[in-house]
Chains A and B, each alone.
Chain A
Amino acid sequence: MHRLHAPHNQPSGDESPAEAVATTRRALIGTAAGLGAAALVAPGVVLHTLSAQAETAPITNKSRWGLLIETDKCAEGCRACIEACDHEHGLDRQVPEGSPSKWEQQKAVWIRKVKLQDNQTGRITQLPLMCQHCEHPPCVDVCPTGASFKRADGIVMVDRHLCIGCRYCMMACPYKARSFIHHNTTGQLTAVPRGKGCVESCNLCVHRRDYGQDSTACADACAATGHHAILFGDLKDPESPIRRRMREIQNRQIREDLGLNTGVRYAGI
């Protein structure tokens, strides 16, 4: 009896010695690579060099990508993030079809600018609203083909090869974040294939993730305008800029009551 239980009673460290060595070595290699790159080229160029390397290993759950949006810095009337997103994913390359009003209602939109007003105080808040990259995404629950899925690194996206365009996910999404492509598409970008009959939404610039770039188009554009309202980063890394900022300021999920644990957090609402 005691012998049976003995292994459980033995004190065990968080990780075995072999794992500890591996972790240390990884950290060392990371530091060495970083130092080498920094020694050779200027900071701006490091980014570019990294961007050329395609990922060859499967992504892991070691990171979870997310956004922190500071709504008090989001300016009224500014559409920089939306335009950058459209540009990055080729949404602005669409030729309008049908009547203008129908096109306006039905064209794909990955980021919506939402204006909130507190009726009691009159306080107005601006916020960009995109796919919230839930930990427990309702769109994935309802998808009948498995096209809606969550990657290991927390990015919720659509496998368009499997999508049959039923739009259950659009109905299930509490954030109205998904769009359906109604028309034939032209001039798609190599990194962002998209076509008629599929649902799509913000994918946290997944091609940038896979090519080792460390930002999203919207965050870049927002920083370029000087607002710095959108911060992209790894929610699992305690030392990442996004986590540090989240420690500093009050932030929350939209519709926290749904318990979805979203990857996009908002400050100032």
Chain B
Amino acid sequence: MAKATVMAILAAGLVMGAFAYAKAAEIKRYVVDGSQAAGLPSCVEPTERMRRMHMEFIKHQRIATVHQGIRDTKYSLAGCVDCHVSYDAQHSPRPINQPDQFCGACHRYASVKLDCFDCHAAVPKGLDGDQASRADGLTQGGGR
């Protein structure tokens, strides 16, 4: 009887472990290998705080950037895109605001409208990437 209980507890633990692993994998799916986020235990702030407060962080960052010219990138939207965009089989980035992507999926789940990417690039480019996009012209439009 005791043996059966131990087995049951072990089995439950295994299932839980597998579930946690799957969950972690699911979350990791939205972190680009080798990016800054991949090397951090959590994002620029603890995950729970990011979930609750990211719009506040971005809002303060945007005022500092637009009005004061501070391009320090701790809470930059381009930073979100750089680390959390995912790539398809051809290694081209998928717009982060699509309903199955990092920003888009969560916003759809929470039923919150996501306007940032009406204006901002939804795929990572950076300054060098901007140069490349300019060279590409319209062949690889990636905004939306």
Contacts and interface: CB of A to CB of B under 8 A. Distances in A.
Interface of A: 51-52, 54-59, 87-88, 90, 92-93, 95, 149, 151-153, 157, 159-161, 184-196, 198, 206-207, 209-211
Given A88-B134, A151-B69, A93 B141 contact: yes
A105 B90 CA distance: 39
B129 interface: yes
Given A55-B69, A87-B134, A190-B126, 15 more contacts: A54-B71, A54-B73, A56-B71, A59-B68, A93-B133, A93-B141, A95-B138, A151-B68, A151-B69, A153-B69, A184-B118, A187-B140, A190-B78, A194-B119, A195-B118
A58 B120 contact: no
Interface in B114-144: 118-121, 124-127, 129-130, 133-134, 137-138, 140-144
A56 B70 contact: yes
Contacts of B138: 93, 95, 187
B143 A211 contact: no
B127 A185 contact: no
B72 interface: yes
Contacts of B107: none
B97 to A, nearest CB: 12
A89 to B, nearest CB: 10
Contacts of B72: 54-56
Nearest to B69: A59
Contact of B62 (A92, A149, A161, A184): A161
Contacts of B119: 160, 185, 188, 193-195, 198
A196 B144 CA distance: 13
20 contacts: A54-B71, A54-B72, A55-B69, A56-B72, A58-B64, A93-B133, A95-B138, A149-B67, A151-B69, A157-B66, A160-B119, A161-B66, A187-B142, A188-B121, A189-B130, A190-B78, A190-B124, A210-B70, A210-B71, A211-B127
